[in-house]
Amino acid sequence: MNAAATVDRPSHDDRPEGWASRQGPRRHQADAATSYRSATGRLAVAVADGVGDSAAAGFAARLVADHAVRVAALEGRPDVAVLAAHDLLTSAHDLVPGDAAAVIALGPGADDPRWRLAWVGDCRALAWDGRSLRSLTADHTVAAALRARGLTVHPRLEHVLTVSTRTARPQEVGVAVVDDPGTLLLVSDGVHRSVATPDLAAALAGGGSAAERAERIVGIAAAAGTGDNATALVVTG
């Protein structure tokens, strides 16, 4: 039986960012979502998904998300934030044996009007312009690599990562720059593998605060029978 939804949201509903997470049938909640705003007002958000079903995976996901948003907001580089999280995991291996996929998005700053994204693994970022939902990231999985070569993919390979926070080299970190994403959606694979794109778009179009939209999305994932933890983070335009 799926656990009840646990919603972690900003304390003020008028903030543009909000998130929700549901554990699902897994033994451990290994997803994490968070945000951080620097003293200059620059917003960074992240979703991380621990590798495996263990307490160590959940701890690694929370650590990666928390560390990455702070580095991204302070340094102005989400790709540097991913590598900083990599350094943290590898340097504290005895204390933090887990690993995680992650996607980090950094909002506009005084000298940079665009959104910047970085990711490793299979968490995704999508942009909703009020009419259509488009993907901003590309999965780092064996299945994605084989599909790009025109090969038939076994479903279990969808879950096998080729790049993660712990293993990432600088050239392997995915990066993207977006002028204006409209409404930004970050999700773990428990959402995007169980909820069709039109249903995600409908959930975003349904109105409400960012946190309410995120809660609606994880509820749809649970109703669809996702076998994984499901996490969604929304930043309204």
Angle formed at CA 163 by CA 6 and CA 160, multiple of 5 degrees: 70
Q: Taking the model in full, what pTM does it have? A: 0.92
Q: Are 76 and 92 in contact (CB under 8 A)?
A: no
126-160 pLDDT tens trace? 999 999 999 999 999 999 999 888 988 888 888 89
Q: Are 99 and 164 in contact (CB under 8 A)?
A: yes
Give the pLDDT confidence score for residue 92 in this predicted structure. Answer: 87
Does the pLDDT value for residue 18 go beyond 70? yes
**Alpha-carbon span 174 to 119, nearest angstrom:** 5
Q: What average pLDDT does this structure show over 7-32?
A: 80
Does the pLDDT value for residue 170 go beyond 50? yes
Give the pLDDT confidence score for residue 9 in this predicted structure. Answer: 45
Give the pLDDT confidence score for residue 155 in this predicted structure. Answer: 83
**Alpha-carbon span 182 to 222, nearest angstrom:** 26
The rounded percent of the chain whose pLDDT value lies above 90 is 84
Give the pLDDT confidence score for residue 161 in this predicted structure. Answer: 96
20-72 pLDDT tens trace? 999 989 999 999 999 999 999 999 999 999 999 999 999 999 999 999 999 99
Give the pLDDT confidence score for residue 95 in this predicted structure. Answer: 87
Q: Are 156 and 137 in contact (CB under 8 A)?
A: no
211-226 pLDDT tens trace? 999 999 999 999 999 9
Give the pLDDT confidence score for residue 6 in this predicted structure. Answer: 45
Retrieve residue 139's tokens: 């999965």
174-220 pLDDT tens trace? 999 999 999 999 999 999 999 999 999 999 999 899 999 999 999 99
Does the pLDDT value for residue 10 go beyond 90? no
Give the pLDDT confidence score for residue 15 in this predicted structure. Answer: 83
Q: Which CATH architecture has domain 28-226?
A: 4-Layer Sandwich (3.60)
87-120 pLDDT tens trace? 999 998 888 899 999 999 999 999 999 999 999 9
